[in-house]
Amino acid sequence: MTDLIKIFPEYEDVFHDDIENHKKYFLPICSINLKIINPSEDQWLHIISVKEIYDGCVGENKPEYHTEYTKADMFGFDVIDGKYKFDADWNYFSVHTEISPEDYGNKYSDLEIEYNMNEAMYQLKKEYYQKQNKLYDKDNDRPGLMVDDIRRLERLRQLTVENLEKDNYSEYLEERLQKKVFGIFDELNTAALPLEETHFGGDNLIEKPYKKDNKVMDYIGCLEGYDFQNASADLLYLFYDKELKKAVICLEYT
C-alpha cells in the first residue's frame, strides 16, 4: 500500500479538535494525500462514514441544523492542517447512545442498536485489516446478525478476528477487492474529471456540494461503505475545494 493512503486511520490523525464528539458520530475509513492525483498537491484528505446509518437519510429530520455543505446524507468539514472539523452543530445527528452489555435488557430503538452495530463491525473489520493487511473478503453469512432486536448486537460483539479468519472463502469477494484501486477505492479521479464525466457520476446523490460558481466541487473518489460497517451507504464520495478549504462526504444508495 502506498504511503499516500492510510486505511482505518486514528481519530487523532483525522480530526482537528473536539476528538470526543467526532468520535461519537464518525468512522474514519481512509486518509489520502492528493499527491497521488497531483504530485504538486501535498494535502491530506479523509473519507469518513457515520455511525447512525440505518433507515432513511442521515440528518434528514434535522433541517434546522443544516449548513451549506451539511445536509441530508452530506457532511461538510473545514480542512485545517490536513485534518477535519465538522462544520455543523452536533444536534444534526439523532443518536449517540452507547449500549453496554449490562443494559441489553433495556428497550432501544432500531437506530440506537444499529449505531452500536456499526461501531462494533467497524472495530472488528479494523482489527482484521491490521492483522491481515487487507480488507475483509470472505463470506460473512451470519443469520444471527440479521434479527430484529438487540440480540444481533450481542452476537456481533462476541465475534473475534479469529472467527472472521475461519469464514468461507469467496472467490467473488476476493476478485471484487482485487479490482479496487489500491485495494480500497471503487474510483479514484486521477484524471481530475468533472463528476458527471467519471465512471460513477454521482447520479443517485440526493445532494451535491456546489461552489460559489455553481459548479460541483472537485471530485476526488469514492469507495463502498459495506467494507467498513454493518449498515452503510453503497458508496461514499469525497469532494474537495482548495479555495474554500472544504471537504465534503456524500452518501449514495444505488
**Host domain of residue 167:** 5-252
- Cα dihedral 195, 196, 202, 207 sign: positive
Each residue's pLDDT tens digit, 166-182: 998 888 888 988 999 99
* Per-residue pLDDT at 52: 96
Each residue's pLDDT tens digit, 28-56: 999 999 999 999 999 999 999 999 998 88
Query: Cα-flanking dihedrals φ and ψ of residue 227, to 5°?
Result: -75, -10
DSSP 76-116: EEEEETTEEEE-S-GGGS---PPPPGGGTTS---HHHHHHH
8 A C-beta contact, residue 222 and residue 232: no
CA atoms within 13 A on the CB side of 136: 29
pLDDT higher than threshold 60 for residue 1: no
Mean pLDDT over each residue of the chain, to the nearest integer: 94
pLDDT higher than threshold 90 for residue 141: no
8 A C-beta contact, residue 84 and residue 16: yes
Query: Counting runs of H as helices and runs of E as strands, what totals does the chain give?
Result: 6, 9
* Per-residue pLDDT at 111: 94
pLDDT higher than threshold 90 for residue 143: no
Q: How many domains, in total, are found in the chain?
A: 1
pLDDT higher than threshold 60 for residue 165: yes
